A and B are shown apart, each in its own frame.
Chain A
Amino acid sequence: MSSGMRAEEIVPLQIDRMACTGHGVCAQILPRNLTLDAHGYPILLDALVDPDDGDTAIRMCPARALYWKGS
């Protein structure tokens, strides 16, 4: 599946809250979509993330806590 196709489907990014350890890498990669709370856990401001940036964040998350909805 190409990124172009995914963009049209508008699949939201999701966070597995039990897996997330609050490393905050996601907020650095997706500053427009995510911010961190006082304890370093992500606040998802907008789940409709640029597909390529989203893929990068999913790859970089050390806890493998990020995923596209339904995957």
Chain B
Amino acid sequence: MTPATLNSTGVQLLDSLEAAGLTGRGGAAFPSAVKLRALTRRRTGVIVNACDGELGAVKDGWVVANHRDDLLRGATIVGRLARGQVSFAAHRGSATEERLRRAGVDTLDVPGRYVSSEESSLINFAEGGLARPMTKRPLYIQGGRDSTGRRIPPTVVLNAETVWRIAQIAEHGPEWFRRYGTAAEPGPRLASVGGYVGRPVVIETQAGVPIGDLLAAAHTRSDAEYVLINGLGGAFAPIVAITSSPWSREGLARFDARLGPGIIEVLDPRRCPLDIVGDLLSYASGESAGQCGPCMFGVPELSALWQQFVRSPSARHRRALEVNLGLLPGRGGCKFPDGVAGVARSALAVFSDHIAEHAAGRCRYAARRSS
């Protein structure tokens, strides 16, 4: 259904986005045409998310730094469809925030906490609340009330790369867009590769390229063994197993990973991966927004149970960990606990040989450390 308020340019744009098959590049991969069609029904505020909220994310800032004019053009296009105010969100004190301010756009300076750039956190913050998630009792794209009864006007959040792609599709058309990527995951796409590499990079690439090419582009060091794909919402994988796999839904499925926000973090091979996971989980326990019981208690408990388990991987400690992991997903106001549980589960599978070593009272990294 096309509302009467939409002019022919708007109709054409929505059709182009649909033909292009653009999906959100913040991680959720929701079809952009569907989202934008929904926001034409009523006057809707637009927030362009350039926070790079996931661990290891840098691409939103890269878009602001390198394609600012296209990004602003995309934001204008979306703003016209939505007939509402457009603002840009960036972490407070970041170079990205500074660049956006200098560009003279309305900028939301979001505190640099993990969940503060979650979609409903940004809406909360834009409406004068804290940058913490809100229960999705209403869909905020339609507007509604939060848990405390506060009225939230219709608002849509779009990732910065997504908005840039919208400008590109408006200019070059859907056929151009579909020349890149795969039929299922079309279009040019950004990947960020960092960590234990010679040259951390944002790569202009596409779905379907061998993951090894992405690792090589960042000059990944030859002794690297593992990667973390998509941070705290993602999964681990051994480099030998993944290097010839395509960077796509199928290529990543076997590691329970997705293209998501396009992050590949190479782990430092001089550290025990079980310790790296421990650090991640301990960071995660500090990042629960402390609003929902199952997350506020469950995530710190996971961190403690993980420490206990890797110190002595007994069947009893494993069971305690599994019980906790079973209770985290689907019980928070946002998906943060689901993501953290996923990362921990992936670590249990991918690092099983390290766990076996710990169970036998050894750790090859302890030896490396002292040598």
Instruction: Tell me the A residues contacting B by CB distance below 8 Å.
Output: 14, 16-22, 37, 39-41, 43-44, 65, 67
Contacts and interface: CB of A to CB of B under 8 A. Distances in A.
Given A21-B293, A37-B298, A44-B331, 16 more contacts: A16-B135, A17-B291, A17-B293, A17-B333, A18-B134, A18-B135, A18-B147, A18-B291, A19-B147, A37-B294, A39-B293, A39-B297, A40-B293, A41-B331, A43-B327, A65-B147
Nearest to A63: B147
B137 A67 contact: yes
B292 interface: yes
A67 B137 CA distance: 9
B332 interface: yes
A20 B327 contact: no
Nearest to A41: B293
Given A22-B293, A37-B294, A17 B135 contact: yes
B332 A17 contact: yes
A43 B293 CA distance: 11
B147 A41 contact: no
Nearest to B294: A41
27 contacts: A14-B137, A16-B137, A16-B333, A17-B135, A17-B292, A17-B293, A17-B295, A17-B331, A17-B332, A18-B133, A18-B134, A18-B147, A18-B291, A18-B333, A19-B135, A20-B293, A21-B293, A22-B293, A37-B294, A37-B298, A40-B293, A41-B293, A41-B294, A41-B297, A41-B331, A43-B331, A65-B147
A19 B333 CA distance: 9
Contacts of B291: 17-18
B325 to A, nearest CB: 13
Interface in B80-131: none
A15 to B, nearest CB: 8
Nearest to A21: B293
Nearest to B138: A70
A18 B292 contact: yes
A65 B292 CA distance: 11
B1 to A, nearest CB: 20
A7 B167 CA distance: 47
| 9 interchain residue pairs of minimum CB distance | A41-B293, A17-B292, A17-B333, A18-B333, A19-B147, A18-B291, A16-B135, A39-B297, A18-B147
Nearest to B293: A41
Contacts of B331: 17, 41, 43-44
A16 B147 contact: yes
Contacts of A39: 293-294, 297
Contacts of A18: 133-135, 147, 291-292, 333
Nearest to B132: A18
Given A37-B327, A41-B331, A43-B327, A17 B137 contact: no
A53 B364 CA distance: 57
A20 B292 contact: yes
A29 to B, nearest CB: 19
Interface string B283-295: 0000000011111
